[in-house]
Structure 1
């Protein structure tokens, strides 16, 4: 009997069960990008895309090939700012969130 489950399956199940978790993943990915950890941010975005709209739908909505999007959101991916913005906009609309940057005073 197999008692473990693939990480991606766990993320997918939790996103389906808890929409707030999907929003938290998007928030974390954006925070990681802004704080200099793009490789981890891309992997979180990849899991979020898989759990929400899927790469085929993302390809349609961004007018980018699915394979290119997969490469962009891999650990060694290197999306341009335009491509990253397009991906974030699709996810933002899907999850119905507004992305805002706040500054910390006194830092």
Structure 2
């Protein structure tokens, strides 16, 4: 269908997952796309990334295969990362450009599925 009613679908998905163990947001054909991290402004080595919707980065969609091949950092993993290198505005952030937030639950979950 061409629309989503997230205020209704989200709690229903959570309930189905909790009560019935039913996966509700699983891609049928594997990973297809990735939302990658892009520098919102010039950033310096040592700067911490503040995450989605904040001041340091934004996300753009990319093909999963390309994002994986180029080592592009998914935006969901960006919060709490510290930059190892200077980044220019609108430059994609790669795994090699950051120290990952080791205590991140999202990082642990990501590593368990990819």
- Do Structure 1 and Structure 2 share a fold, with TM-score over 0.5? no
Q: Which has the higher helix share?
A: 1
Larger radius of gyration: 2
Q: Which has the higher strand share?
A: 2
